[in-house]
Structure 1
Amino acid sequence: MDSNKLKSEAGLACPYLRPSIDAMVGYIPGEQPKPGTKIIKLNTNENPYPPSPAAIEVLRNLDSEWLRRYPDPYASEFRQAASEALGVPADWIIVGNGSDEVLNLVVRACAEPGRKVVYPVPTYVLYRTLTQMQSAENIEISYPEDYCLPIEELVAAKGVVTFIASPNSPSGHVVASAQLRQLASRLSSVLVIDEAYVDFAAETALPLVEEFENVIVLRTLSKGYSLAGLRLGFGIANPKLLAGLFKVKDSYNIDAIACAVGAAAMRDQAYKNECATKVKRSRAQLAVALKQLGFQLWPSQTNFLLAKPPQGNAEQIYLALKEQGILVRYFNQPGLEDKLRISIGTNEQNQMLITALITLT
């Protein structure tokens, strides 16, 4: 179902649903072209390089017994691999069907009508969607122009959950660990630090989970590990916090194949780091080329760039690029309507984008 159809059907009333669900607009993912479509896809921040050869080898040697039996309900093999890679105890890890599921677990465990979920905007729109699903109140606090974390406002909002994406999407900025530490020390509720793009960043907030029982750091294999199609993510937190999340987790939420493939990818940190280095190098080169075309850019520690065209005609350029078989992300929302989010592709893909933009700007 395409995004336009989803939008049109979102307003249709259904007497069988909860009123809050009937009234909300669901999360609308980025466009996904049909398999085999010849297109340059720079709109959903996938890694342009293939997954680890070790992960591919697991698929080649798939044991059919994995399909017959229920999987390990705790994804123990993957937890152990992540434990070894990150230097955290395995029982401090909860695995989800993408980090999106872990976000959902946190909201389901903590939020309900009369409770608040707080986050600075612009950021990942799914935070809003998950909050509305629980009929909780979402409090959105605007980032200032310099994207300095609005700590006072976040604390004053008194949410039962506070989400901070760092690095953030679509801005690409990282929140300094010192600011996150200050925020965590002043909150009496759960602080979720969403590090989906951390593999392309200069710092991580992971040490905070040892300092604060209310902090959970989220990771995903979709970006740095080139496994967006696998749907595997995880959270790291004190077992006291995780105990509540395990209560609301589906019994067998991680399939056996994802667990085995993800564990192999997690153990191959050298390959992941090599690909991340190539992405960061291409990010710098693409930034130079876009600036030469007059685009305004924001510093990025992710695998994408937030770019404002010289004429501010972001939607027009998005549509024109789409006609040429190049997908970038356009957000028709306040503060972003004149900007594009551009995923980092291979050097060849990035050059094709620049060539197309030369004729459009």
Structure 2
Amino acid sequence: MNYFRKSIHEMSGYVPGEQPPLGIKIIKLNSNENPYPPSPKALKALQEIDGEMLRRYPDPTGKSFRMAASKVLGFPDDWIIAGNGSDDLLNLIVRAAGEAGKQIVCPAPTYVLYRTLAEIQDAKFVEVPYPDDYQLPVDLLIAAQGAVTFVASPNSPSGTAISVADLEKLAEELSGILVIDEAYVDFAENNALELTKKYSNVIVLRTLSKGYSLAGLRLGFAVANPALLAELNKVKDSYNVDALAYLVATSAIADQNYKTANAEKIKASLAKLAVSFKELGFDVWPSQTNFLLVRPPNGDAERIYQTLKVRGILIRYFNQPRLEDKLRITVGTEAQNQILVKTLKEIV
């Protein structure tokens, strides 16, 4: 007997990257985590926590974090909403705007959680194919006229950048909400924050998982017109972010120098890795993230993924159309990257 909605019973859930237990000796390059530790200021805040903070419910609006983010971004704090990771905010948006008979649209391939959230709401999910060079199919996305249109910028799993001009054209011509998912913005050359001031239908998402080395904390935030955020606040859980996350995130986002220094190290390592992959005969897509999408010389991506796993190196393989011959590889520390390249030379 099935006790759940037909759409839930028939859908496939989102499958995260493999997460081995702490302490296992492995080089983990499969989930786009930052290889460097979080800000010392963030760790200090965690170590000095007052027990009274845990006894009480957290601030439901995360005022202290929003004020810290406001100072960094140059936006009023009422233009900011926090979530339990940016995935929580994606969920809020789809719950508020998606329903049976409405379309949720995105270019593809991209972050597969967009599909999962649409299916949960029983909304129609429309994928507009990216061309091989991953230039945003702007006109086709406009033609789809989704209730919500998701664009990851830069995109995952390709790592490719999206021009602000293309995003602005979408904002101008879409009748629904345009969600610009900037999870990897700390490694990118440009961002689309200013579009939220110009267009009332634009939401820009950010996360502390990538640039700030806080994937385990689960803290994301969105920037949008307060009128738009007021509707999302009706949908969110009363206390969707815990007190510890707010405390650590507030210290982390204030330490911009530390975050930027680590991002620059990752960008330099990414450039070196791209050269090494090309020397091995891989096709490499241009990336403004902390990972690379590559195609092995013979397209035998699954074999390489499995062989690396046996040798203690985890990368990401997607067994789905247009990605089955490719691998997504996170930038690690210099030492980890060298081991990866050395092992690939033996395998390839």
TM-score (norm 1): 0.96
Indicate the SS of the match to 1:341: strand
Which residue of 1 is the match for residue 113 of structure 2?
126
- Kindly state the Cα deviation for residue 99 of structure 1 after the two structures are TM-superposed: 0.3
Aligned to 1:20: 7
State the 1:316 CA deviation: 0.1
Alignment of 1:1-361 (within 5 A): 15-361=2-348
Amino acid at match of 2:274: A
User: How many angstroms apart in 1 are the aligned matches of 2:186 and 2:295?
Assistant: 25
Give the partner amino acid of 2:287. Answer: S
CA distance in 1, matches of 2:143, 2:119: 21
- Aligned-pair CA distance for 1:334: 0.5
Q: Deviations over 1:116-143 (max 9, x none)?
A: 0000000000000000000000000100
CA distance in 2, matches of 1:149, 1:35: 38
- For residues 216-263 of structure 1, what are the alpha-carbon distances to aligned partners after superposition, in whole Å with 9 as ceiling and x for unaligned? 000000000000000000000000110110000000011111001000
1:127 is matched by which residue type in structure 2? Answer: Y
Q: Which residue of 2 aligns with 1:7?
A: none
Q: Shift of residue 354 of structure 1?
A: 0.6
**Per-residue Cα deviation, 1:281-321 (whole angstroms, up to 9, x for no partner):** 00011111111111110000000000100011000000000
- Distance in 1 between the 2:326 and 2:341 partners? 16
C-alpha separation in 2, matches of 1:120 and 1:151: 9
Q: Which stretches of structure 1, 4 residues or longer, exceed 2 Å deviation after superposition?
A: none
1:343 offset after TM fit, Å?
0.1
> In structure 2, what residue type is equivalent to 1:25?
S
* SS in structure 1 at match of 2:128: strand
Residues 93-112 of structure 1: CA deviation (Å, up to 9, x unaligned) = 01000000000000000000
**Matches of 1:34 and 1:218, distance apart in 2:** 29
Gaps of 5+ in 1: 1-13
Deviation at 1:152, TM superposition (A): 1.3
Q: CA deviation at 1:333?
A: 0.5
Task: State the number of aligned residues.
Answer: 348
Superposition TM-score, scaled by structure 2 size = 0.99
Identity of aligned residues (%): 62
- Distance (Å, rounded) in 1 between the aligned partners of 2:267 and 2:134: 21
After TM superposition, give the deviation of residue 149 of structure 1 in Å.
1.2
Aligned-residue offset at 1:147? 1.3
CA distance in 2, matches of 1:292, 1:40: 22
Return 5+ residue gaps in structure 2 as ranges.
none
1: distance between equivalents of 2:95 and 2:33? 27
Provide Cα deviations, 1:160-185, integer angstroms capped at 9, x if missing partner.
00000000000001110001001100
Deviation at 1:357, TM superposition (A): 0.4
Letter in 2 for 1:124: Y
